[in-house]
């Protein structure tokens, strides 16, 4: 193995690795030997198929698998040999893949900056006082009522109104053909401008049961829903039934259905939950305030690949959240693209925060024992309820346990920072 390392910048490294015929041949022989033991070819006993024949039928797949294995194995060996620790997965580029000659590839990555923290002892930070206002408590009770609401068929009118749920058959037609991927079929639609997108509110809102509605809508070439972009679309809709959401009465019976003994007991439990959430939020603000002070006093360069990784994570979090709220995938992605610069700023701050906290943990010798990780996993699995089995499978993976251990180490480092800070009472913050 020949290794050449270049330093394009202070934190970036480009490592070029070349493997000769001996290293490649050894792995090819191993791969074909394993294949020979497991493949059955007509006319040959198991384990007796000649390599030339195996190469003819399986050569491309074997070479691909061998390249992948050699790149992974020798990248790891070179990183360990040269004591380099990438902050994110290296970017691999294969430069020579004729295995009869050589395998040459490059791994480009960033390393952590060397950080020696200073001025992080005895910091002053304000902790907001918290209270739960009655209107916030009422709003939470109302949200619980909404979750227990029932849909009742409307019998005394036939015209769809705002706030209704309409069982309707909907089709989108362009150039005389139904649009693939956009037709809704028969389903229940919540009737509001926010819930009914792409102009469908104008189609279903105000419609009459049993009377077909046809409306033409035009969409610009940059419209985020690609199936509609640049098209004139005729929407066909027929409302079959109308439903209205009925909220339960705000009384003891409702409280019992929600798992409480009375409405008064329910209000106190919800108030306690809101207070606990507010305390957690106040604690998080204190920690972030302390961390911001340390960051301000210890400017560091953030590796680009680390910022890019956090940006991808934030974009995924945003699109997932929007889709969970009913926003179509294409619109969620378009929204993430619109907010990319703001997300990038947040990603860089998050990356910088992780580097600073990791440096603090290194400097103070913060460690997390395997027993602590096991206890946390047991707690997380128990709290997963019906998803316990899925959670257990997740934490059976080494990378998931390692990520959890790193997260716990950062928690400990922030706890240490907080224990040495001077926390003062600040202004009252309402829930």
Condensed to tens digits (0 to 9), the pLDDT of residues 103-125 reads 899 999 999 998 999 999 889 98
At residue 184, the pLDDT reads 66
Q: Give exposure, 92-121, as e/b (b: 16+ Cβ within 10 Å).
A: eeeeeeebeebbbbbbbbbbbeebebeebe
Contacts of 326 (CB under 8 A, 6+ apart): 195
Computed from CA positions of residues 194, 195, 201, 205, in that sequence, does the dihedral angle turn out positive or negative? Answer: negative
pLDDT in tens, 372-412: 999 999 999 998 888 888 999 999 999 999 999 999 999 99
Task: Quote the mean pLDDT of the chain.
Answer: 88
**Contacts of 273 by beta carbon, 8 Å cutoff, 6+ apart:** none
Name the percent of the chain lying above pLDDT 90: 55
- What span, in angstroms and rounded, lies between the C-alpha atoms of 364 and 415? 12
Residue 41 has pLDDT above 80, yes or no: no
**pLDDT value for 426:** 61
pLDDT tens by residue, 270-298: 999 999 999 998 888 899 999 999 999 99
Tell me the mean pLDDT in the region 80-91. 91
- The answer to whether residue 39 scores a pLDDT higher than 80 is no
Maximum alpha-carbon separation in the chain: 85
Can you tell me whether residue 162 is helix, strand or coil? coil
Q: Is the pLDDT of residue 183 over 70?
A: no
**Residues shown for the chain:** 431
Task: Report the pLDDT averaged over residues 29-53.
Answer: 77
Give the pLDDT confidence of 234-268 residue by residue, as tens digits: 999 999 999 999 999 999 999 999 899 999 999 99
Give the C-alpha separation, 286 to 128, whole Å. 8
Q: What is the mean pLDDT of residues 339-361?
A: 94
Q: Return the CATH architecture of domain 150-246.
A: Roll (3.10)
Give the side-chain half-sphere CA count within 13 A for 187: 9
The fold for domain 2-110 equals: Alpha-Beta Plaits (3.30.70)
Q: Are 264 and 371 in contact (CB under 8 A)?
A: no
- Provide mean pLDDT across the span 152-170: 92
What are the counts of helices (DSSP H) followed by strands (DSSP E) for the chain?
12, 12
What is 175-218 written as a DSSP string? TTEEPTTT--EEEEEE-STTTSTTTHHHHHTT-BTT--EEEEEE
Q: How far apart are CA 220 and CA 178, in angstroms?
A: 19
C-alpha distance from residue 221 to each of 8, 171, 225, 227 (Å): 41, 21, 10, 10
- The reported pTM is 0.70
What are the residues facing 105 on neighbouring strands? Answer: 17, 94
Rounded mean pLDDT, 35-54: 75
Provide DSSP, 284-333.
HHHHHHHHHHHHHHS--PPPHHHHHHHHHHHHHHHHHHHHHTT--HHHHH
Q: How far apart are CA 17 and CA 15, in angstroms?
A: 6
CA distance 40 to 401: 40
Rounded to an integer, the average pLDDT of 209-219 is 92
């Amino acid at each position: 193995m020949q290794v050449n390392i270049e330093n394009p910048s202070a934190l970036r490294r480009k490592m070029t690795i070349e493997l000769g015929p001996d290293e490649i041949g050894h792995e090819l022989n191993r791969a074909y030997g394993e294949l020979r033991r497991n493949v059955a070819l007509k006319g040959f006993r198991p384990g007796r198929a000649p390599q030339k024949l195996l190469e003819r039928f399986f050569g491309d797949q074997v070479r691909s698998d061998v390249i992948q294995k050699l790149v992974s194995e020798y990248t790891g060996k070179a990183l360990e040999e040269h004591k380099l620790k990438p902050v994110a997965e290296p970017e691999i580029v294969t430069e020579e893949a004729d295995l009869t000659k050589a395998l040459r590839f490059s791994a480009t990555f960033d390393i952590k900056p060397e950080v020696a923290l200073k001025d992080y002892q005895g910091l002053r930070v304000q902790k907001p006082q918290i209270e739960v206002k009655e209107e916030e408590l009422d709003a939470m009770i109302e949200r619980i009522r909404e979750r227990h609401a029932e849909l009742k068929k409307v019998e005394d009118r036939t015209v769809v109104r705002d706030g209704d749920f309409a069982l309707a058959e909907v089709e989108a037609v362009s150039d005389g053909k139904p649009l693939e991927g956009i037709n809704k079929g028969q389903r229940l639609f919540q009737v509001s401008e926010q819930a009914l997108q792409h102009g469908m509110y104008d189609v279903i809102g105000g419609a009459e049961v049993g009377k077909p509605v046809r409306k033409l809508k035009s969409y610009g070439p940059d419209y985020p829903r690609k199936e509609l972009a640049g098209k004139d679309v005729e929407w066909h809709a027929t409302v079959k039934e109308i439903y209205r959401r009925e909220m339960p009465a705000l009384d003891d019976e409702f409280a019992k259905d929600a798992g409480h003994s009375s409405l008064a007991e329910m209000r106190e439990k919800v108030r306690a939950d809101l207070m606990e959430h507010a305390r957690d939020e106040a604690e998080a603000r204190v920690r972030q305030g302390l961390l911001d002070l340390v960051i301000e006093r210890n400017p560091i360069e953030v590796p680009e690949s680390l910022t890019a990784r956090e940006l991808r994570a934030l974009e995924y979090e945003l699109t997932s959240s929007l889709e969970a709220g009913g926003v179509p995938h294409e619109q969620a992605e378009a929204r993430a693209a619109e907010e990319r610069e703001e997300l990038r700023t947040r990603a860089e701050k998050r990356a910088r925060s992780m580097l600073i906290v990791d440096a603090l943990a290194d400097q103070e010798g913060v460690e997390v024992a395997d027993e602590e990780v096991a206890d946390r996993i047991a707690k997380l699995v128990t709290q997963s309820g019906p998803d316990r089995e899925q959670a257990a499978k997740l934490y059976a993976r080494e990378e998931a346990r390692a990520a959890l251990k790193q997260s716990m180490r950062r928690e400990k480092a922030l706890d240490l920072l907080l224990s040495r800070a001077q926390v003062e009472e600040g202004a009252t913050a309402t829930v």
